[in-house]
Amino acid sequence: MMKFEKDDAGTRTVDIGRGCVFGGPRLVIIAGPCTVEDRVQTLEIAAAVKEAGASMLRGGAYKPRTSPYAFQGLHEEGLAILAEAREQTGLPVVTEVLESADLTKVSAVADMLQIGSRNMHNSVLLQAAGRTGKPVFLKRGMSARIEEFLLAAEYVLETGNKNIVMCERGIRTFETATRFTLDLSAIPLLKQRTWIPIAVDPSHGTGMTSLVPPMACAAAVCGADAVMVEVHGHPDKALCDGDQSETPEMFYRMIKELQNITRAIGRTV
């Protein structure tokens, strides 16, 4: 029997601390910039998402970019900014680790280690991240099947680390109207197969800001335990992923919608 397989206990909780628990009655909202661009930008967004009701801060210090000429992140300086944002807001931080060599530096700041879509198949990194004992936020490879996604999670579990959350973030299909095709059916399907809490990222999943709130609501209805979204004070000026980032005002309105939806399905935000 695989370690990810569900038993009678259903979804297990993953407790990050600072009041952030995945897999409980409360839908976890993770929000923040795609990338940590500078100190002021990050602290402002962190304060705004906290105020609106987010329970975790996201932001990349090490960015996996398609082009080698695109902004690659502030690295250590970005981690220090995230640590300050956590200090100011009390929000726990999830941030991506791109390679095993960075694990010590990233784990020193992150409350949760993100393994990105492009690294889902990197079994060596999955094992190394698992061995840190830190909670792991594992994103689905953009061309990964559900079975491959579950086996990637198994690499983390096999190290003895049970603190893992799996995140649907859109897959490659023939459709080009959206950046990826958000696979909502993955949510109930994964929940049938595993006890691991499931998150959804409608920002990367669609690539379009206008689609983020409806897909976040749909994810909640499909049983997601968490929603991860990108928020930026000035999406038109964002260094990365402005087209899919919500302003703090849009984020605030989305939280209100999610409050109404979760009330109807016996959960809270």
Residues making contact with ligand PEP (CB under 6 A):
34, 60, 64, 96, 116-117, 139, 169, 201, 204
List the Cα angle 50/55/58 in 5-degree steps.
85
- Tell the burial category of 26 from Cβ atoms under 10 Å away from its Cβ (0-12, 13-18, 19+): middle
96 binds, among ligand PEP, Mn ion, none (CB under 5 to 8 A by kind): ligand PEP
Q: Which stretch binds Mn ion (CB under 5 A): 91-99, 106-114, 139-147, 236-244?
A: 236-244
Residue with tokens 């962190």: 46
Select the residue interacting with Mn ion from 102, 183, 241, 246 (CB under 5 A). Answer: 241
Distance of closest approach, residue 65 Cβ to ligand PEP, in angstroms: 9
Q: Give least dist CB 139 to ligand PEP, A.
A: 4
Pick what 64 binds: ligand PEP, Mn ion, none; C-beta below 5 to 8 Å, kind-dependent.
ligand PEP
Q: How far is the CB of 36 from Mn ion (least distance, A)?
A: 12
Q: Considering the complex, state which of residue 36 and residue 267 has its C-beta at the smaller distance from ligand PEP.
A: 36
Q: Considering only 26-34, 44-52, 83-91, 188-196, which stretch makes contact with Mn ion by CB under 5 A?
A: 26-34
Contact call for residues 216 and 192 (beta carbons, < 8 A): no
Measured from the CB atom, is 123 or 259 closer to ligand PEP? 123
| Binding residue (CB under 5 A) for Mn ion from 27, 29, 34, 254 | 34
- Residue 61 in contact with Mn ion, rule: CB under 5 A: no
Residue with smaller CB distance to ligand PEP, 50 or 139:
139
Nearer to ligand PEP, 96 or 102 (CB): 96
For residue 19, count other CB atoms closer than 10 A to its CB: 12
Smallest gap, in angstroms, from Cβ of residue 206 to ligand PEP?
12
Distance of CA 187 to the CA centre of its chain: 14
Nearer to ligand PEP, 34 or 48 (CB): 34
Q: CA-to-CA distance for 139 and 65, rounded, in angstroms?
A: 15
- We find the least distance from the C-beta atom of residue 180 to Mn ion, in angstroms, to be 12
Distance of closest approach, residue 229 Cβ to Mn ion, in angstroms: 10
Give the footprint of Mn ion on this chain (CB under 5 A): 34, 241
